């Protein structure tokens, strides 16, 4: 029997402030690039249809976490987020996987995935974020301002590549694809 061993894949760990357009970028990337696996997240809230996620109740989330069905999980803004263990299978098979991650969970992700993880920060100007968050309608004005105040956390990520998604979505997608294909990403030996 001939067993094929694939080189490990890459985990492109996309982060950015709420409203920066990560979900829109990743939705368009999925449409344009079937060779890239965009992982869904498990979240204890409804996506409202705009996000690649599976909605779980708090009890379902706790049970799945206890069963070891998440390779990564974190909480933010009173919600639980998880990433299924299926992405480890995809990476082991040599695939490129893109994940909408969290700045707060980056260290845990680095510990779990090591050299296969390549972080990317999506950014936009504060006023762009404010208008997008208002249009989204999930948060109160005070919650929006609190989210914008947390943008200072990005300063600690000064060594991470950035893509500005403050303009047209098409421009952001072109920049994301160019970054994805750039030579600075880990190469795989055949």
| Residues contacting residue 65 through CB under 8 Å, at least 6 positions apart | 73, 80, 82
> What are the residue boundaries of the structural domains of the chain, listed by start?
10-181
Mean pLDDT in residue range 85-111: 94
Q: What is the rounded distance in angstroms from the CA atom of residue 54 to the CA atom of residue 44?
A: 9
CA–CA dist 116, 102 (Å, integer): 17
pLDDT in tens, 153-186: 676 777 899 999 999 999 999 999 999 888 444 4
Question: pLDDT higher for 21 or 149?
Answer: 21
Q: pLDDT by residue (tens digit) across 115-138? A: 999 999 999 998 999 999 899 888
d(CA 70, CA 72): 5
pLDDT band at residue 114 under the 50/70/90 scheme:
very high
- The alpha-helical segments, DSSP class H, found in 102-168 are 106-113, 126-136, 141-149
Of 60-69, 104-113, 175-184, least confident by mean pLDDT is 175-184
Task: State how far the alpha carbon of 102 is from the alpha carbons of 11, 126, 183, in Å.
Answer: 14, 19, 25
84 has a pLDDT exceeding 60: yes
Binned at pLDDT 50, 70 and 90, residue 51 comes out as low
Tell me the average pLDDT across 69-85. 93
Query: What pLDDT score does 186 carry?
Result: 46
**Domain boundaries 10-181, corresponding CATH code:** 3.40.50.300
Evaluate whether 52 touches 26 at the Cβ level (below 8 Å): yes
pLDDT confidence of 37, banded at 50, 70, 90? very high
| pLDDT at residue number 5 | 52
- Determine the Cα–Cα distance for residues 155 and 25; give it in Å rounded to an integer: 22
pLDDT at 2: 45
Mean pLDDT, the chain, integer: 86
DSSP state, residue 64:
H
């Amino acid at each position: 029997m001939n067993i094929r061993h694939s080189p490990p894949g890459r985990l492109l760990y996309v982060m950015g402030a709420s409203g920066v357009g990560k979900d829109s970028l990743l939705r368009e990337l999925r449409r344009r690039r079937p060779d890239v696996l965009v992982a869904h997240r498990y979240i204890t809230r409804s996506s409202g249809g705009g996000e690649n996620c599976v909605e779980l109740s708090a009890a379902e989330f706790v049970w799945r976490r206890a069963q070891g069905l998440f390779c990564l999980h974190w909480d933010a803004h009173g919600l639980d987020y998880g990433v299924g263990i299926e992405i480890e299978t995809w990476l082991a098979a040599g695939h490129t996987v893109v994940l909408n991650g969290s700045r707060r969970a980056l260290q845990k992700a680095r510990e779990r995935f090591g050299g296969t993880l390549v972080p990317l920060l999506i950014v936009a100007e504060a006023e762009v974020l404010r208008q997008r968050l208002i249009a989204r309608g999930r948060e109160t004005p005070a919650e929006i301002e609190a989210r914008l105040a947390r943008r200072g956390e990005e300063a600690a990520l000064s060594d991470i590549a950035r893509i500005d998604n403050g303009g047209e979505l098409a421009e952001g997608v072109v920049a994301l694809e160019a970054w994805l294909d750039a030579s600075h990403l880990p190469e795989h030996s055949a």
